[in-house]
Structure 1
Amino acid sequence: MLGNVFVCNQLDDGFAEQISEETGLEHTIWINGTPVSTSFEVGVDVLGDTVQHVAFLDRTSHHTFEIEGIPYYAAHLPLEEDGLTAEVALDVTEIDQTRNQLARTLVASILGVSFIGSVLGVLLSRRISQPLVHLAESAEALSRGDLESPVDTRTNVREVSLVAQALETARTDLRETLTSLQSERDWSKHLLASIVEGIVTLDGEGCITFFSHGAERITGWLRPEVLGKPCDDIFRLANSLQAFTRVIPEAGQRGKADVCLADGRVASFAITRAEFAPSEAAEAEIALVFRDISEEEAVHRILGHFLANVSHEFRTPLAALAASIELLLDQAPELTAAELHELLIPLHLGTLGLQTLVDNLLESASIEAGRFHVSPRVVDLGAIVAEAAETMQPLLVKYEQNLIVDLPMNIPVVRADPRRIVQVLVNLLGNASKYGPPEAEIQLKVTANNHEACVSVADRGPGISPEARADLFHRFIYPDGESNTSHAGAGLGLSVVKAIVEGHGGLVGVDDRTDGGSIFWFTLPLVKDAA
């Protein structure tokens, strides 16, 4: 009878160590949860006390554990025999180190990426914020009124670029608008400065809010002196205690007022008024436009005086002529020769006066129209003096005035218009007779030098004040400076004298006479080859 042969292998630590050497892994044999052999140096006793190890063995086919601080990864496989289990453990120290290294590398990578991301974020934020800072600086410059500096923000950020373009467009548009407004303002200022009339605006309380250059020129007040002040304090009426605002005309009407200027002089103003509202919020203001009409008023007064004097100058000789002619018509056959002669003298004097007046009027009109001219020729000055003396003799006889003619031995030969020079002498002799007392002496004197002859008429009248001499030879100015209707003529004689003499290239003037009266003189050019 054959028996059973059993081949057995002892499952001790040596067996486990042999397998460990062949596989490079740690091996442990478990029977019913108890280690019977192991390749671990600690032995089965220590291994069996590893409660955590046993607990994992009961639950899973693989688990991890540590022995003497060394981590292992184990897998157990049930064998054919019940309760017999083989466990294979791998030292995972290097794996843990690698895992830890990977974890550290991962953390470092994450930190590095975060740092790089932060740096890139800062750079990107600066890239975005720098143009925004430039935009803010440009906007601040615009708010300060700097419209010349361009908004130059170069960036690849589309939104920032669009904002910069919009701001630059707004800057250029605003600059063009302000330039246009500046031009219009300058044009308005030049226009106001060129207007000769004065322009003043008043607020609701009558205070001055605008004072043009024309107003400064007319009144003598400077703009800083009057702005904000009541117009009644600046414009004071002459010879009246009434306030200036009381004489301001209604809108669309024209008024006149005599106003004291800054230097104390009095001027006549023509004033017009308009009302306007500068804006919806502002109160309505009053605009006054005034013009200095002092000269016009003076001309009107002089013209009225002139017409009154001309009427008197015409009326007096015409009345004398009418009376004499009427007497001749009624009593001519019964009058003696002496009586006829006595009646003819007023006729002659009246005709002479009318002729002188008409000549002066015609000459003054031609001078004013620019058509005045003289026709000089070579003439003996003595003949001109003789003709003028003969013309004036009846008038001198009437007032018992004595004309003394003083001519040099060599009577000058001049280049002159005889008719015009006779008119000059008639005017001067007529004034000497008019303003001199009866039975007075009138001297007509001629002197000469190498270039010119000087003719003078000396009277015994009241004389001419120094203040009146500057305008004496102008129209409508009277030698005595007074509106004495008994003496005053048309006021044209001396202006005609001046025009005629200057037309010959000569001079005219007046001096005081030593023992009372005045000396009117004029010069005429001599003929060089008269000798």
Structure 2
Amino acid sequence: MDILVLGMVFFILLALVIGVIISRVSKSSKLEEELREEKELTHAIVASMGEGVLVLDTDYDIKLINPQAEKLLETTAKEAVGQKWAEFVKAYVGDQEITFDKRSSVKTLASGEIKITSIGDDHYYFTRSGRKFPIVAITAPLKREGKVVGVVKVFRDATHEKEIDRMKTDFISLASHQLRTPLSAIKWFTELLLDPAAGTLTMEQQGYAAKIAVSTDRMVSLVNSLLNISRIESGRIMIDPKPTDLLELVESVISELKRKMDTKGHKFIINTIDKLAPIPVDPKLIGHVYANLIDNAIKYTQDRGDISVFISKKNDEIISQISDSGFGIPVNEQQKLFQRFFRASNAIKHVTEGSGLGLYLVKAIVESSGGKIWFKSEEGKGSTFWFSLPIAGMQPKKGEVSLDS
């Protein structure tokens, strides 16, 4: 009897164990099936994307390429997978090849940050067949358990956008040129009206003429900004580096803005950490950068505020810092600051005139000079802008026109 009971208990336990095993096998099979379906779905999504997709490992070897990337790069997955990305497809800024350390995939892998390549960056891919085409791209780190294990690059051919951008630039340039002639005439005749030698005006007439003069100056400034932007974007600006003492350049800018500064009663400080040797830069272009940043500090700082310029050397760069105790920039608007035509909401309340083109132009000049620009700002407390220039200076470039010509 005991043996029968034990036998029954054994078979019951065995059945339970078999049931658990069958259940686990069933769950495992279901999990494998779910993983397989998820993998197939991911593959289908990547394969059907209208943009090119590449996955690189930490050695920058191509691990995955989707059909659209195969089409754009004129290759096949069989040919591309396993190849070194930087060797397989060359990347250019304009006509200059991007060195390995400057490639977005290298920067992303090193920093773990997303890199965005926009139409304004003027990046191109050069396929092995010799086709060169403009691109816009997003390069993102591929992470596993918080560790960067590769890079995902999504890109597309920007030929159409590039052409539209060129047409827009050409239109702005043409329209601005056409506006300059009548504006120059208005400005000249207004100056004649205000000259006592041309005859006596009543106080009311003088007021009207003065308002015409101020408005004309604003329009001339806007037209010049539009022209300068179109020239830089089209690559027509010449760069003529000369050994330049940056401290003296800033002092000359300050002298031109002194009346504005004195009117508002600002306290101004300029300093350098060491005696800096002259560096080869285009004084007209870099002077424009200083003039815009200092003029902004004057405009957007309340009366009797503090403005300072500090120039220093760090490694192989010269860093210029322009600080003010002004209105600052709202946090939720700071990412838009270097966009064309953008003006901060609090700035518009205090200073109504302005085109929103100055900082866009400044950024274009600094980056075309091989430098960077960045800032820190707190609303109600002020802003600090920094921009860097390579200590080796700017590279000369032939062009059709100079700034404001």
**TM-score, normalisation: structure 2:** 0.43
Mark the structure with the bigger radius of gyration: 1
Question: Which fold has the larger relative contact order, with Cα–Cα distance below 8 Å and residues 6 or more apart in sequence?
Answer: 2
